[in-house]
Structure 1
Amino acid sequence: MQRVCFQLQVKPERVDEYVERHRAVWPEMLEALHATGWHNYSLFLRRDGLLVGYFETPSLEAALAGMAATDVNARWQAEMAEFFEDLGDARPDTGFVLLDEVFHLEDQLATAGHRER
């Protein structure tokens, strides 16, 4: 399972509305994410608008392609685009910055031969 972490910048004056929109994401969007391989998906938001997302997937490329093929994703991205800074012509789901994973506890424990107690 691939662990994916990404960053976007929400316009600071839109943070409260962005949070409100995510209190009840459209059921068909939730189903599409699940069906296309987005697992353990979370978003974290600082008050200044720094948004960090995390999810696990068998394939990032397949997860992105799967969502790109859905009508609900096109509608959701169109509505969400106005909340973000520095996207240029990109949609939020293609304009994010991927972050490199530099540490994972379980991987290092396994390498060190740690056993569960």
Structure 2
Amino acid sequence: MTSPSPTRVCFQLQVHPELLDEYIERHSPVWPDMLAEIAASGRRNYSLFLAEGGLLIGYYEVDDDAAAQEYLAASPVAARWEAEMGRFFVGLAGRPDQAATPLTEVFNLHDQLVASATGSDDESDDAS
């Protein structure tokens, strides 16, 4: 029996441009107890990408995103981290980990390769 695919979550935030250097410093490295809380929440393969001008894109995988969010919302460590991080973001109401704008996934190579191998969504069927 195969396990269900993890949920892929991508989000965006906007970092104040004048705080970019400090934001990067704060993540080099992240507090060890915060890293442990992220892992304990079930999030994995978590990355942040920062574009020029402060556009921040985050990505992680999780089996149960609602449970991970609940875990982190109840974590005193995450509450302290998010309270310190909140000032870095433009137009944010609430904790950054709970107020980020989720993005819609429109393509995933693995999923399409699996679908192609099983014959679903076969483009050649449409051509006839």
Same fold (TM over 0.5): yes
Q: Provide TM-score, normalisation by structure 1.
A: 0.94
Structure whose CA Rg is larger: 2
* 1:94 Cα deviation after fit: 1.2
- TM-score when normalising by structure 2: 0.86
Query: What amino acid is the match of 1:83?
Result: F
Higher helix share: 2
Deviation at 1:24, TM superposition (A): 1.1
Mapping 1:41-60, distance limit 5 Å: 41-60=46-65
Aligned to 2:99: 95
Identity %: 53
Q: What CA distance in whole angstroms lies between the structure 2 residues aligned with 1:63 and 1:15?
A: 27
Spell out, residue by residue over 1:66-97, the C-alpha distance to the aligned partner (whole angstroms, 9 max, x if none). Answer: 11111000000000000000113x11011100
Q: How many Å separate the matches in 2 of 1:93 and 1:113?
A: 37
Structure 2 counterpart of 1:54, which letter?
A: Y
Unmatched segments (≥5 aa) in structure 1 = none
Distance in 2, matches of 1:67 and 1:91, equals 11
Aligned partners of 1:15 and 1:47 also within 8 Å: no
Matched residue type, 1:78: A
Aligned to 1:23: 28
Residue 33 (structure 1) shift: 0.4
Per the alignment, residue 110 of structure 1 pairs with 114
Root-mean-square deviation over aligned CA pairs: 0.9
Alignment partner, residue 78 of structure 1: 83
Quote the offset at 1:60 in angstroms.
1.1
Count of matched residue pairs:
113
Q: 1:65 matched to which residue of 2?
A: 70
Letter in 1 for 2:86: A
